[in-house]
Structure formats: structure tokens, C-alpha cells
Chain A
């Protein structure tokens, strides 16, 4: 057909067109700020212009005089609510209007509500704050930061991974490198602006807001506002890009809800792009020291990874990617340590492959340096250090197809044509470089519920409180239902993104396909059981057929003998018009309260490094060609090839798109993205899409995705590994190694910019 729809290989599903494609190309897909709301008033945020201190006075007279201004919510107005909590559902423990302390630049100090957007914006600019300000600590090495060990501060990193005697192995290693790497602050910048629309009907509150976690937010918002969770509803049918930014709820949601309650009208607050930089989460700035020691044969004997990460004053947000880097290769001995650096900044949060993107970048850039030090081909170096078992606890991998990925990607890329000598490949005025790196992402799964209804006409309705953030999860849930119930995909409708639906876990950590498909499969199988019992029962149309030998196909119940019964006839025999089943799925190893925790918005994650029987990861290998102009030093990426193995692929079209998008994210991390900070004022400088650089169409040329067949029955009943976050892990290191190959310059601090490459 076309490149967007790769032909499925073994254990891969058809490249079905997204079931919501027509809605998305006709403008009919409703994102939360699109919902028509009668009598809505408009909110505009006012944010702090200092990073540390106190608000002593807010001058609001001019703002109140603006015609159309209805209300200004500020300090004191949230007194009857609980402060936000930091955790999986809450972005930060800072309640910006709960007291007058300023923890970071861009913190909310007021919300203006007016009849029109224009009046609200105008009034917001007229509010002036008087501050008692103190000099802030912006980032690493700023005076006044507090450094502490990260392990044990967050469930993200229970302890620092270690194995064997690192010091002895490091001392004895014949070949070693000891280098430092860094990654900058980055902001998700989904193209959809952040927004909250709050509507009260009596004591019932409805929130329209883009969310990756409607169930978690319902519970947390109810806690903050002292409401019964049953009276809170979060609706988020389509999400205009998330990448982690819409996972934890921010303080704004409750503030907008309070504003709506005070004026007795719905309030919509669409946050400006500039204000999103301070009021939403971001990827923490990180620094790394990596030590690798090996024998002359290239076998690694010592691996040390120390990390430092910036977070806010009160919240221990931990990136903690050493859990994965410590298990990547057959190291011999391992020593890791992660430190938190508390500064006067907003609390960071999850951003696409939160731990792995920065930590695996550092590891893989170091692996390339080590291959150079050993005089070894970088692919061969990884092959030699391929582990039988993970080195920390000696557990097996549930499946690991990394070498297959390297083989297929390197062949498609033409790695054998690479001349390993630095600076040896040229094309006119362009220096050509080629590099590669490993991608890894933990495979996790969480409890999930789903409801499936089948009617006599073969129509199926799937309901699940998961979230369509662009991954294609609606389509995949429909495919699963179509497959289990033997009907065409056009017969399936899928409802998601509403906290009144059966609860699903947060759409983060690449768990949605596995979790949602497992729950939908379970509900469909319960529908099948009912149909089969009726079909094969005494009065059923397949009365003589053994129950266990039945299947569903082409809108019929089919017996092994080839005899079949139309759905309508089975429904007639049952004397019902619809069969509806509600299923709760809990992964292997779940605690007895795992499902009740799901309803409470606190789903348990299983998999990754945490399971007893094995560690579970998806892997990939990425190869990049860069071209660097010999005069201007501009860097171009004409092609990138990635091969990925992620268990069962539900839909090769949506899988390819996600991996392709991920690799382009990786190119952005390598060459474009960085939120610059003014160290004197702890203030972000490039707070818009003009100055915060992301890849544009002209930055990207050929992107090839290879889906490597893999079967893994251990990970979950659906056999699915997530891949939404796999694609952008390692990419930046592959680009850095290609830049080194082209120029001989080893760039260790991202992003790689022209000024890094000028002699």
C-alpha cells in the first residue's frame, strides 16, 4: 500500500487505519477546549516574575476596573481546599495560592476571570505584585542549591543498582574511559495548549481538560476540593499531544474550579504557551559521570554511572535512569549513584521515556567512546557484551532481541559501507558521519478495567477510561475486540477519556496497549463464553457442538466442524438483545488490593526491573547518518534507520508512526531542544515555539522503521510490549557518535549546536 502501512510479519497485526482518522482530518475530533459550553467565562493566569521570595501585595484595582472582569482568584481564596500532593497524579506539592511563598519563576499568583478572553488577558496584564524577593538558586553549581542522594526518595528509584566489586575491576581494567555528559531542561510543548474548563451543576463538578489520567485526577481533585469523588468527572476525549505533560494534574485545575464556583458560571482557562513553561512540568536537567573499564578483548569488567538531576525545593522528582543503564550489558561489576539537586525551580515531571532518554544517552555516547578507545566496531563492541542475564540480580530477560535489531538495522542502513576512520567520508562540502546506539525501554503493565457490549446486529461498544493521546489506543482496542468477537472493525465503537468509564491506568510508561488490550480481551472472552454456552446449549443453534471448540468469525459463532450460527440466531436463542461484560484485569504479581487501587487512581505498575521471575524490556537499534557542512558547520540528518522488537505489534501502522515520531524526537534532543535558563533570575528565557527549537518538516528526511518480529508470552496476556517511548531512547547518542565520526569532535553536552563544531 504505502510506507505508512507496513506489511505485518509474524506476531504483528494489520495496519488498520485509525478509527478516528476521519474525525481528525475533518476537525470533528473534540479536544477539551473545543467543547461548547453555554455562558462560559474566560480565565487568564497571572504568574510571578521572581523565582524566590514572597508576594507582599497584589495591586488589583486597575485590573478590576477593566469592563467585563468578573472575579480575581488569588491568595486566600483556596484556603478551604487541600494543597496539591506531589506524586503520580499531582505535578507538585506547591499550592501556589495556598500561601504567598514563591518557589519558582512563573508560579501562579492570580487567576482573572472575565466575560471575554480579551478582557481577561487585558486585566491580567494590569495586576502588579510587590515582592520580598531573595536571590534564587537556578541550577547545578548555583549558590544555595541542596544536594541529596535520590535513592529511596521516590518509588522511581528505591536503591542505587550495584553488582560485584567495581573499585577492584576499575583499578585492573586494561582500557578505560571516565567522562562527563549532560542533558538540558526540555519542555514537552505539545501543540495543544494546556487548558481547564470547569462546570458546576450543584455540587457536581465536570472538568474538561487534556489528561493522561482521568481516574487519578478525579480522585485527587476531589481530595483537594473536599468533594466526594463520585461528584467529580474529568472528560478528555482527545488529547492534542501529551508526552507526559498531561499525566500529573497541576494546581491550576482546582483554581479554575474554585473560580467557577465563586462566579456561578463555567470558566475556561487556556494557558498561554509562555505561561505553560512555568506552570507545567518539564524534563529535568541532568549531568552524568560514566566510567567504563574493559579488557583488551572488549569485554566490559566495570561500569560506573553517577547522575545528578535538578528538581524543585520541596519535591523529590527522581529521573533515576540507572535502573535501566545498569542492566543494559554484561558489565562484570556495576556501581551507580543518583543525586538530587534542589533549586528554585518548578517541579520536573515525566517526559517521553523520562529516565531512559537522558541516562541511556550518556551510556550510549560513552559506549561509542569506549569502542573508539578499544579500536573496535561499535556494533561489535555491543555484541561482545550482550548479556545472558541482567547483571544486577541475575534475572533472565523475558525476551531480548537486541542483536537481531542491530543485524537488521545495520544491513538496511548499509553500516558495512562505513569507513571507521574519523573524517574519512565526504560528499563535496559535506562531512559525512555514521553512528549507532541502543534503544531500551522497560515493559510494564498495570491493572485496567473495560466494558464490552455486543448486540445482535454484531455492533460492539468498547468502554475504557484510557486516553487517546495520539498513540492509536482507540484503534488498537477496537482491533482487539474485532479479533476476539469475529466482527469487522467498522462494527466497533470505542469510548475513552472519561472518568465515568471503567478505570484505566495513567497513559504513561508505555503501558496502555498492554493494559487496555488485556482488559478488553478479558471482557470479550466473557462475552464469548456466554455466547458459546448458549450456542452449544440444548436449545442453541449449535446444540451438538462441544463448547470448547467454538470460535467467532465473520459475525458468526463457528464450530470446529465448520457448522456455524449467525449472531442474531444465538441472541434469539438467548432471548436477549445485548450481552455486556465488565472485566477487570490485574497483571501477574498484583497485590490483593491492586484493583481497588486502580479505582482510587493509584495503579500498580508491574514489569520492567520489578518482577521476580525476569526483567522485561523492549529493545531497538538505531543508525544515523549526519552531514556537516565543512564551512558553516550546520548539521543535517538525511537518514535514520531504527529496528525495534516489542513483542506482539497490534497495528504496524500506528506502531511505525510512534517509533518514527520517537526517532524524530531523538533528533530534536540531539540537535535542537533546550530550555535556556537565566541563571541570575532562575528564569526560562526561550519560552515559546519560536525560540524553543523542535524539529520542523525541513529538518527531517528519510526515517526508516523496521519492526522486528518477537514473541513474548511472559510480559502480559496480550503479549504486547509498549513502544511509545522506545523510539527516542538512544537516538541522541547515535547522532553524537555520527558527529564524532564526521568531525573527530566528541560532544558530550546536548544539544549539539553549530558553535560546538566550529574550530
Chain B
């Protein structure tokens, strides 16, 4: 269970080499002095990879990724978890919402390499080992809280975040704190009803 997965065709040995430069590069990503960083004449390309380790749905992953790869694209294109959806790539629709260390995050606005050592939870990580749906998932089924289903993984992850934050106290609160997740099929009243049901169930548990 705990064996590390290597994606992107990197061997463990290559990862060890790459991880050294990743550690060196990491602080620069978040640094306000990034302008001081020496710039290369050669444009960044697929050969400029950085290593990043994170846990995704309780499994460790060591990845070698383009520095520009978003957490969303890492999940979809490099790990093969396509449950998380791309709806705008600009943080405007919420379809890519995942939990990072338990908090809801727009994975399209987060570079994968910024998530070193973090615990990521996607919609694929919610079902219990015996196949039982998470209370939010079950509530979405019960209340027909989707039509096409495309925004649904993001809605569900966001709903879990919303409940955990304590922002699901009233229906008005739920509407407000779920307004970062667009549903073009407009299942909004059903989404609110589902979150009320799941909130109560989670509180009882």
C-alpha cells in the first residue's frame, strides 16, 4: 500500500536526481523576489522538470512535472485521476475543486510543485473501502443535485469544505459559500437541499 508510485515515466533513480534541484527551486516559486531569479534564454519546455511528492487520496506519489503544470493537470494528465474537471482553468467556475490538507482549493490555480508534501483529496478518494458513498455524495444522488454531472466533483469537494468550515449553518450561508461553484444545468436548489441533508448526517455521526 505504501509503495511510492512513479508517474511520467521517471525511474526511482531519476527521481532522486531530480528531487535535489526541486528542493532548490521550491522556495523561489513562492518568493516575492522571484524577479532576482536568473532567467534562461531557452524557453521552459517539457525537459525542465521538477520533482514533487504529495499524497493523493492517501497514496504517496512522486512526480516529475513541468514547473508550469497545474495541480489540476497533474491529477488529470499525469496521475490519471480525471474525476477532477477543468471548466475554465482560471479559477472562475469551481469544477476543479479538491481538498488540500482538508481545505478546498481550486486546483487549476495551484501549481503542482507548490503542493510538495501536501495531502490531496479528490472525488475519487471519498468512497469508503466497502464502497459506501460519502454522505455528501449520497445526498447529491438523493436530491438529484446534478444533471450533466460535469461540475459535480467540484461541487461535492466544495460542499465537504463548506460543511467542514462551518459555513453550512443556514440555506443562505450554503448559497453564499457555494457560489464559487457554477452549475450551468442550474441544479442549485437541489445542491442546497443535498448539503443540508449531508450536514445533518455528518453532525449526527
A residues neighboring B (CB under 8 Å): 1-5, 17-18, 20-31, 33-34, 36, 65-68, 114-119, 122, 188-193, 238-243, 270, 272-273, 469-472, 653-654, 656-658, 660-661, 664-665, 668, 688-690, 694-703
Contacts and interface: CB of A to CB of B under 8 A. Distances in A.
Given A661-B185, A688-B90, A700-B186, A238 B133 contact: no
B104 interface: no
Given A118-B44, A192-B150, A238-B150, 4 more contacts: A3-B193, A27-B82, A270-B86, A697-B174
B18 interface: no
Nearest to B78: A116
Contacts of B69: 116-118
Nearest to B152: A24
Contacts of B82: 27, 30-31, 33-34, 36
A700 B145 CA distance: 14
Contacts of B146: 24-25, 470
A485 B152 CA distance: 33
A240 B147 CA distance: 9
Contact of B149 (A17, A29, A66, A119): A29
A660 B188 CA distance: 9
Given A118-B46, A657-B190, A688-B92, A193 B185 contact: no
Nearest to B125: A27
B185 A470 contact: yes
B186 A471 contact: no
Contact of A22 (B47, B141, B156): B141
Nearest to B146: A24
A472 B182 CA distance: 20
A661 B187 contact: yes
Contact of A118 (B66, B95, B148): B66
30 contacts: A2-B142, A4-B142, A25-B140, A25-B152, A26-B83, A26-B133, A36-B82, A66-B43, A66-B45, A115-B46, A122-B44, A190-B150, A191-B93, A191-B95, A191-B151, A192-B148, A239-B148, A241-B184, A273-B87, A273-B89, A657-B185, A657-B187, A660-B189, A664-B188, A689-B92, A694-B184, A697-B174, A697-B176, A697-B181, A698-B176
Given A2-B142, A688-B88, A697 B178 contact: yes
Interface residues of B, number: 69
A31 B189 contact: no
A191 B85 contact: yes
Contact of B148 (A1, A28, A470, A698): A470
Interface in B144-168: 144-153, 156
A689 to B, nearest CB: 4
A191 B77 CA distance: 19
Contacts of B46: 67-68, 114-116, 118-119
B86 to A, nearest CB: 6
B120 interface: no
B138 to A, nearest CB: 8
A21 B141 contact: yes
Query: Which 10 residue pairs are nearest across A and B when measured between Cβ atoms?
Result: A27-B83, A67-B45, A240-B150, A470-B148, A24-B149, A470-B147, A664-B186, A34-B82, A27-B123, A689-B92
A658 B179 CA distance: 20
Contacts of A68: 45-47
Contacts of A189: 184
Contacts of A22: 133, 141
A24 B197 CA distance: 19
A191 B182 contact: yes
Interface in B116-138: 122-124, 126-127, 133, 137-138
A242 B122 CA distance: 25
A697 B196 CA distance: 14
A238 B153 CA distance: 14
Which of A18, A25, A665 neighbours the largest number of chain B CB atoms within 10 Å of its CB? A25
A616 to B, nearest CB: 25
Contacts of A3: 143, 189-190, 193
A18 B144 contact: yes
B2 to A, nearest CB: 24
Contacts of B85: 31, 191-192, 240
Contacts of A30: 82
A484 B142 CA distance: 26
Contacts of B178: 697
Contacts of A664: 186, 188
Nearest to A239: B148
B105 interface: no
B124 to A, nearest CB: 5
A688 B91 CA distance: 11
Nearest to A2: B143
B122 A702 contact: no
A689 B148 contact: no
Which of A66, A471, A690, A697 neighbours the largest number of chain B CB atoms within 10 Å of its CB? A697
B147 A471 contact: yes
A36 B142 CA distance: 30
Given A689-B90, A697-B179, A36 B193 contact: no
Nearest to B171: A701
Interface string B71-87: 00100110011111111
Contacts of B73: 117
B175 interface: yes
B148 A240 contact: yes
Which of B42, B93, B182, B189 neighbours the largest number of chain A CB atoms within 10 Å of its CB? B189
Nearest to A62: B43
A698 B89 CA distance: 22
Nearest to A191: B87
Contact of B141 (A17, A241, A668): A17
Contacts of A118: 44, 46, 66, 68-69
A65 B175 contact: no
A243 B148 CA distance: 11
Contacts of A193: 86-89
Contacts of B182: 191, 689, 694, 696
A19 to B, nearest CB: 11
B83 A28 contact: yes
A698 B179 contact: yes
B147 A657 contact: yes
B63 interface: no
Contacts of B87: 191-193, 240, 273, 689
A664 B89 CA distance: 25
B51 interface: no
Which of A65, A122, A240, A653 neighbours the largest number of chain B CB atoms within 10 Å of its CB? A240
Contacts of B145: 4
A25 B43 contact: no
Given A2-B142, A665-B186, A697 B124 contact: no
Nearest to B127: A26
A226 to B, nearest CB: 32
A117 B72 CA distance: 12
A657 B144 contact: yes
Contacts of A243: 184
B194 to A, nearest CB: 8
B22 interface: no
